[in-house]
Structure formats: C-alpha cells, structure tokens
C-alpha cells in the first residue's frame, strides 16, 4: 500500500498502518534528532515524543500529502522543546562507526566526518535544526521556515550562517599533529 | 579534504554518513508506546467544526431565563471586582526591584496543577487545579501570577490571576503555539513573551487583547538570548522604568548585544565583534542589574564556544569585564543578579576526563566588585530545572533536573543548612516578592 493509503488508515485508528509509517520514517527522524540534539538518548526521547504526538493528532491532519512535513515539524519542535527543558546542559554526540563500504577515499571522508561533527557542535540548536531539515531531510527552505515557525528570511540567514561556520571549520587547514616518539611521549 | 566549492554539494551525503544508521533499536518500544495512546477524535480539532449533536437545539427541559441570569451574574462580577479592587488597594506592594520580603513560592506539580508553598512551614495548597498548567511567574510587585495553560495538545493560553490563583483571566485572544520566555514588565501591568520567530510580544496583563510586537527585524536582529530559566528575573526591560530592552541580535560581524527603546525602535549594538575588547564566539542570556545600570551576560570563548564565562558590562556598553577568575576549563550559565545587585549567581560545569564540560557544580555566587566566589548548597548531578534568588537575597531556591533529586531546595548563601520541601515540581518555581 502507498503512503497515502497508510496515512488514511492510520487516521482512522489502524495502528498497524501507523507502525508501517513509523518503519518508513523512523531512521530519518532519529538521524535528524541526533544531529540537532547531539545526544542519542535525548534523540530517542524526542523521536518518542514526536511519534506519540503524531499518532495522537493524526486524525486532525487534513491533507495526507502534508504528512511528511508535519512529521518533520513535530520532530524539530520536540528537539527544541527538549533543549529548552534541559536548560543549557552541555550535551555531546556519540559518533557511530561508518557502515558504508570502504573506498579509496576513506581517510578523507573520516576526516570530513570528524570536522563536520566539530562544526555542528559549534552551531546553535536552531541553526542545526535548519541544517537537519534542509540537508538531511531534504526539505525546501520555505518548508523549513514553515515547519520551524520562522520567517523565510530567518531560515535563509540561519542556513547561510550555519554553512559559513561549517565550511570554515571543514575547509580549515589541519593543525599539525604531534609525532609520537618511542615511549609514548609526544615529540 | 572537501573543497569549499564542493562542500555544499557533499553536505547531504556527509550528513547521511554521519547520522543515518538504520532502524534504531528502540523501534519496538515506540510502536508499543504509541499503541497504548488513544487517538484524539477528529471532531476535537477546531478546524473540523463541531459535531452536529452539539449544535442542535435541545428539545428537553424548560426554557432557561438566560437574560436574567446573565444580568445577575454581571452584578455579582461587578461587586466582586469592586471588593477585589478595595482589598488590593489596601495592601502595600513592594517596589519591583531591589530586596523585598520573601512571600510564597508558586510551582507546577507533576499533575499540572499550580501549588502555592509556604517556604517556611512547607505547607502547600493547590491554587490552580491541573492538568495543563506551566510556568507560574509572579509579577514584580507580587500581586499577580501569570502562567501558561494548555489549549489542546499543541497550544497555550496565557492566564493572569491574583497571587492566590483566584480571578483568572485569559489575556491572549488566540492560543499561542510557542512561548520561549514569559515574564513581566517592571510596572507589573504587562506580560512580555518571546516566541520562536524571534519576536518580543507585549500583552496587557488585565484583559484579553492583541499583543504589541516590539519591532525587531527577524533577519537583522534575531532577538534571541531570552531564557525562562529564572522566571523571577526581569530580563527584558531595563529597570526601574522599563524604558529600554536588551537582546541578542546580529550585526554583519556576527552576534551582538543590542539595546533598543521599549517599542523596539532605535536598536543599536553595545557589544559587537568589531568593537569588543573581548573576543567571543557568541553571547547569551543578558540580565539587567536590579538598578538598571549594568547587564550580566555570557560570552562563549572563540577558541571553544562550549567554554562560557559570565561578564558584566555597563548599560552604555563600556567596561566589559569578567566576574569570575576561575582558570580551569568551565562553562558558566544562567547568571542572575542578587536583589541588591552586589552578587551574581550562576551554574557551572567543569570538564570531565574526556574534555566534555559535564561535571556539575553547586550554584556559584560571585561578588560583582571583588570577584570573591563561593559555591552554595548541594550538587545536583544533572543540573537544575530552575533556580532563582529569594526576594530578600539570603538564599537560592533550586529544583534539580534529576527526577530522583526533585524537591524544593532552599539554600542559604551564608553556608547554613539547606531546607527541603518534599514536593515534586515539574517546572521552575517562582518566589513572590512582598513588602516589608
């Protein structure tokens, strides 16, 4: 059954249909939450909150074609709510090993991943949310603005700022790595 | 290394590499949890209209004399209002700033009810039944209580009542989808909120009516930096008259501290990257001193934005100075002035073995002029759900973030033993100011 059919059935209270929708979207919601929150446990809480709301309020969704955008809005709001609730507690992301097959450019990609992760850590959650929606979930900027309840200009300026900050970090010259000499001492 | 030109093109793939990790292991838990939740019936959504059985006229029972009942109710309301005005005028109110006597503490419990707690006896009573209430915040003169009340699953009304919870009035003409900061104007006549769009809205605190939006351009001036962590701190309007607002905005050089007139006009940066004698990555949480002469704020280090320090600057942007001289890597947040303006309290994390700033410290109190620093109270391992100064400036009122430690903690700053009230707040508490 196509997604629209699943949404219609879930709106009528068929939980199996909702479960099928969860299976389609869960990995991406989890990824977006981890990007924004930088903490896998908090991300799990945010995804749980977003999906409970989605199931509970699904009968109120008038246009099934808006389901995906609506779901993305729920996850972003759940993430930002959690951040506000946590009140500035410093949180860090857990990096998982790469599952993709090895290529000739593995070292470069690993370096990029680490740099990109550093760059994301330095962004404000609101900026990370714009990055997550636009680049990870593939939403056009007007949709991002609508999902986050911010003016399009603000979404653009946040994205511009975030890209600039990330680009600066990712393309910066690497700092010289101290050589390790015998005995484990740094040269 | 990815070249600058290719960076944007590569970003989706890089992010997918970094974050897309297959179906999470909690999938089954979530499916089970949602299965236990009842769906909200479609007819309860406002845009779907009312069901026909609610709109049909009743055919049973005698006709009710609505007009006469309405007139009686109006007379009763007028008498009650006159009585309330008389009683109110006979009470002496504290000045909105500076030290005051300690009144009662309002908090939301885990059922969503608002309770009023006597911090001396520990006696608590429900003044607003739950569920669905949050963010109780006393007015600066202690006479009224503002709070958010859930309207449906995703929206809020702002309610203002007398300090005992009686006479609630919904002041927002339509529900709000989000409230970042909720506070009062210095004269206790207005409710100030900030919303996700970066606006500051001001509502009349007595009647329902449209908000006056302080015109800060969403693109140029983000109007961020507000935080509802210390709900009793008046951190938008400049004391004592409220003639200016402070907020975090953006200049071409990056984030900056702005001052504007109270209507949002004449906005100008008083700290920006081009002119600041202190280099910074970002700024956060500006707080006016009680006399309005200075502003406390947090600056993130340009070398490591996770390292954050409390600074004080004069209200004209001059004399930006560090208040704590701690040299170990740390992150200080949520600075709050003592009622007499002599000290600033904040929360601090030190670096752990991995370099992450996650070792929670007790609340730190520092002398603004001499830099003397003391830690007060006990360690709450996950930090705080909220805390604020007592109105008389002798204690810090804390609520821990961690569920196992949740209770009202009243921690004297002179080092004497803390007092605890075994009640489980779900939100930051607010301590009422009273006249001497």
Asked if residue B55 is part of any domain, the answer here is no
Distance CA(A146)–CA(B197), nearest Å, equals 11
Could you tell me if B226 and B307 lie in one domain? yes
Could you tell me if A38 and A9 lie in one domain? yes
Residues in chain B predicted with pLDDT less than 70, given as ranges, are 1-6, 40-68, 80-91, 152-154, 177-178, 180, 195-199, 215-235, 305-306, 352-358, 380-383, 385, 401-406
Asked if residue A181 is part of any domain, the answer here is no
* Closest by Cα among B198, B203, B240, B193 to B215: B198
Could you tell me if A42 and A81 lie in one domain? yes
Asked if residue A1 is part of any domain, the answer here is yes
Asked if residue A179 is part of any domain, the answer here is no
Distance CA(A75)–CA(A81), nearest Å, equals 10
Q: What is the pLDDT of residue B412?
A: 93
Interface test with B, best of A87, A123, A147 (most B CBs within 10 A): A87
Q: What is the pLDDT of residue A111?
A: 63
Spatial neighbors of A43 by CB under 8 A, at least 6 apart, are A30, A33, A34, A36, A37, A79
Range of the domain at B248: 95-434
The CATH number given to whatever domain includes residue B234 is 2.120.10.30
pLDDT tens per residue, chain A (187 residues)? 688 889 989 988 889 999 999 999 999 999 999 999 888 888 999 999 899 989 988 887 777 888 888 899 889 888 877 776 554 333 333 333 333 333 334 455 556 677 787 778 777 788 899 999 999 998 887 778 767 766 565 677 678 777 877 777 666 544 443 333 333 333 2
Q: Is A50 exposed, middle or buried (0-12, 13-18, 19+ CB in 10 A)?
A: buried
Q: Do B154 and A57 touch (CB under 8 A)?
A: yes
Could you tell me if A50 and A132 lie in one domain? no
Residue A159 parent element (H or E) = helix A152-170
Q: What is the pLDDT of residue B141?
A: 92
Which sign does the torsion angle of CA A100, A105, A108, A112 carry?
A: negative
Could you tell me if B265 and B139 lie in one domain? yes
Asked if residue B60 is part of any domain, the answer here is no
* Domains contained in chain A, number: 2
Q: What is the pLDDT of residue B342?
A: 95
Spatial neighbors of A32 by CB under 8 A, at least 6 apart, are A72, A75, A76, A79, A132, A133, A136, A137, B19
* Domains contained in chain B, number: 2
Q: How many CB atoms lie within 10 A of CB A181?
A: 9
The CATH number given to whatever domain includes residue A80 is 1.10.1740.10
Could you tell me if B230 and B151 lie in one domain? yes
Asked if residue A62 is part of any domain, the answer here is yes
Asked if residue B418 is part of any domain, the answer here is yes
ipTM above 0.85, yes or no: no
The CATH number given to whatever domain includes residue A111 is 1.10.10.10
∠ CA(A132), CA(A135), CA(A138), 5° rounding?
100
Question: B358 contacts in A (CB within 8 Å)?
Answer: 89-90, 92
Asked if residue A153 is part of any domain, the answer here is yes
**A106 close contact with B: CB closer than 8 A:** no
What pTM does this model have?
Answer: 0.59
Could you tell me if B271 and B372 lie in one domain? yes
Which sign does the torsion angle of CA A113, A144, A86, B102 carry?
A: positive
Question: B47 contacts in A (CB within 8 Å)?
Answer: 60, 62
User: Of the residues A94, A122, A153, which one is the last residue of a structural domain?
Assistant: A94
Spatial neighbors of B406 by CB under 8 A, at least 6 apart, are B385, B399, B400, B424, B425
Per DSSP, A134 falls in state: I
Which sign does the torsion angle of CA B200, B204, B207, B209 carry?
A: negative
**Structural tokens at position A110:** 């690993």
Q: Do B21 and A170 touch (CB under 8 A)?
A: no
- Calculate how close chain A gets to B248, using CA atoms only, in Å: 13
Range of the domain at A146: 105-172
- Calculate how close chain B gets to A132, using CA atoms only, in Å: 8
Q: What is the pLDDT of residue B250?
A: 75
Q: What is the pLDDT of residue B389?
A: 93
Could you tell me if A90 and A9 lie in one domain? yes
Q: What is the pLDDT of residue B98?
A: 87
Q: How many CB atoms lie within 10 A of CB B428?
A: 25
Helix/strand/coil (H/E/C) assignment for every residue in B15-84:
HHHHHCCCCCCCHHHHHHHHHHCCCCCHHHCHHHCCCHHHHCCCCCCCCCCHHHHHHHHHHHHHHHHHHH
Could you tell me if A11 and A76 lie in one domain? yes
Could you tell me if A82 and A55 lie in one domain? yes
**A149 close contact with B: CB closer than 8 A:** yes
Per DSSP, B377 falls in state: S
């Amino acid at each position: 059954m196509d997604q629209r059919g699943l949404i219609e059935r879930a709106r009528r209270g068929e939980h199996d249909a909702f479960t099928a929708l969860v299976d389609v979207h869960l990995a991406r919601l989890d990824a977006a939450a981890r990007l924004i929150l930088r903490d896998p446990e908090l991300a799990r809480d945010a995804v749980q909150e977003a999906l409970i709301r989605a199931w509970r309020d699904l009968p109120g969704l008038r246009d099934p074609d808006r389901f995906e955008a609506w779901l993305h809005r729920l996850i972003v709001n759940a993430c930002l709510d959690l951040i506000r609730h946590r009140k500035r507690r410093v949180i860090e992301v857990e990096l998982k090993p790469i599952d993709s097959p090895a290529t000739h450019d593995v070292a470069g990609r690993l370096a990029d991943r680490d740099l990109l992760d550093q760059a994301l850590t330095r962004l404000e959650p609101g900026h990370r949310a714009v990055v997550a929606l636009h680049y990870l979930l593939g939403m056009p900027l007007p949709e991002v603005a609508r999902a986050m309840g911010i003016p399009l200009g603000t979404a653009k300026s946040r994205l511009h700022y975030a890209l600039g900050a990330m680009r600066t970090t990712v393309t910066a010259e690497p700092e010289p790595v101290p050589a390790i000499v015998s005995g484990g001492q740094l040269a | 290394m990815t070249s600058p030109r290719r960076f944007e093109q590569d970003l989706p793939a890089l992010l997918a590499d970094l974050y897309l990790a297959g179906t999470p292991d909690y999938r089954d838990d979530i499916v089970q949890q949602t299965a236990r939740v009842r769906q909200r019936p479609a007819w309860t959504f406002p845009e779907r209209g009312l069901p026909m059985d609610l709109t049909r006229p009743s055919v049973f029972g005698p006709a009710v004399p609505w007009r006469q009942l309405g007139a009686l109710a109006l007379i009763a309301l007028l008498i009650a209002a006159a009585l309330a005005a008389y009683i109110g005028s006979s009470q002496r109110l504290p000045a909105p700033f500076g030290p005051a006597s300690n009144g009662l503490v309002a908090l939301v419990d885990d059922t969503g009810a608002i309770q009023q707690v006597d911090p001396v006896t520990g006696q608590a009573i429900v003044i607003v039944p739950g569920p669905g209430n949050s963010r109780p915040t006393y007015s600066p003169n202690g006479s009224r209580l503002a709070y958010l009340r859930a309207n449906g699953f995703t929206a809020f009304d702002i309610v203002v009542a007398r300090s005992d919870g009686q006479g609630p009035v919904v002041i927002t003409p339509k529900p709000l989808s989000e409230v970042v900061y909720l506070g009062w104007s210095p004269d206790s006549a207005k409710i100030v909120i900030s919303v996700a769009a970066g606006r500051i809205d001001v509502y009349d605190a007595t009647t329902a009516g449209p908000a006056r939006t302080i015109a800060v351009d969403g693109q140029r001036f983000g109007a961020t930096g507000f935080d509802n962590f210390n709900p009793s701190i008046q951190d938008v309007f400049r004391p004592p008259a409220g003639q200016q607002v402070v907020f975090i905005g953006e200049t071409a050089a990056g984030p900056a501290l702005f001052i504007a007139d109270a209507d949002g006009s004449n906005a100008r940066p008083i700290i920006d990257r081009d002119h600041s004698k202190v280099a910074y990555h970002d700024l956060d949480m500006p707080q006016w001193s009680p006399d309005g002469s200075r502003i406390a704020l947090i600056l993130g280090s340009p070398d490591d934005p996770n390292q954050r320090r409390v600074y004080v600057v004069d209200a004209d942007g001059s004399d930006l100075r560090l208040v704590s001289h701690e040299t170990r890597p740390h992150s200080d947040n949520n600075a709050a002035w003592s009622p007499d303006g002599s000290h600033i309290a904040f929360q601090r994390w030190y670096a752990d073995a991995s370099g992450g700033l996650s070792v929670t410290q007790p609340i730190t109190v520092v002398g603004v002029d001499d830099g003397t620093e003391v830690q007060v109270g006990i360690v709450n391992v996950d930090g705080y759900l909220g805390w604020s100064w007592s109105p008389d400036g002798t204690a810090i009122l804390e609520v821990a973030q961690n569920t196992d430690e949740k209770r009202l903690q009243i921690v004297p700053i002179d080092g004497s033993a803390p007092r605890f009230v075994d009640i489980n707040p779900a939100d930051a508490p607010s301590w009422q100011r009273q006249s001497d």
